Structure 1
Amino acid sequence: MDNVMGMALSGMRAAQQGVQVAAHNVVNLATPGAQHLQLQRNTTEQGGVQALVAPTGANAGAPLGDLLAAKAEVVAFAANATVIRRQDQMLGSLLDRDA
C-alpha cells in the first residue's frame, strides 16, 4: 500500500512542477530572450512519475496552451490527492476490522 502513496505523491509533485512551469512561461511572455519551458514526465521503476523541466522553442499559441496546461495540472493534483485520501480511508477500515 505504500507504493500507492508513493505513486500519488510523485504525481502531485509532477503536477506542482507543471503549474510552476506554466506560470513561468506566462509571466515571461513579454521578457526578451526568456526560455519557454516544458515539463517532461517519465515513469519510474517503482511506479509513479518523474518530472524534468526542459527548454523548448517559442510557440505563438503558448499563452493559451500554458493556461490550459496549468488547469490540467491542478486537476491532476486533485486526482492524486483523492487517491491518497481513499488509500488512507481504506487503510483505516482495514485497521478497524483487524482490531
Structure 2
Amino acid sequence: MNNVMGMALGGMRAAQQGVQVAAHNVANLATPDAQRLQLQRAEDGQGGVGTTVAGADPDPTAPLGDLLAARAEVVAFAANASVIRRQDQMLGSLLDRDA
C-alpha cells in the first residue's frame, strides 16, 4: 500500500513542477531571449514518475498550450490527492476493524 502513496506523491510533485514550468513560460513571454521550458516525464524504478526540465523550441502557439497544460496539471494534482485521500480512508477503516 505504501507504493500507492509513493506513486501518488510522485504524481503530485510532477504536476506541481508542470505548473511551475507553464508559469515560467507565461511569465517570460515578453522577455527577449527567454528560454522556453518543457517538462519531460519518465517512469522511475518503483513505478512512479520522474521529471526533467529541458529547454524547448520557440512556438508562437505556446501561450495557449502553456495555459492548458497548467490547467491539466492542476487536474492531475487533484486526482493524485484523491488517491492519497482514498488510501488514508481505507487504512483508517482497516485499523478500525482491527481495533
TM range (shorter): over 0.9
The corresponding residue for 1:45 is 45
Alignment pair present for 1:29 and 2:56: no
Q: After the TM superposition, which segments of 4 or more aligned residues of structure 1 sit over 6 Å from their partners?
A: none
Q: CA deviation at 1:74?
A: 0.2
Residue 3 of structure 1 corresponds to which residue in structure 2? 3
- For structure 2, which runs of at least 5 residues remain unmatched after alignment? none
* TM-score, structure 1 as length reference: 0.98
Residue 55 of structure 1 aligns to a residue in which SS?
Answer: strand
Query: How many residues are aligned here?
Result: 99
**Quick one: which amino acid aligns to residue 9 of structure 1?**
L
Matched letter for residue 53 of structure 1 = V
Quote how far apart the aligned CAs of 1:23 are: 0.2
Identity %: 79
Q: Unaligned 5+ residue runs, structure 1?
A: none
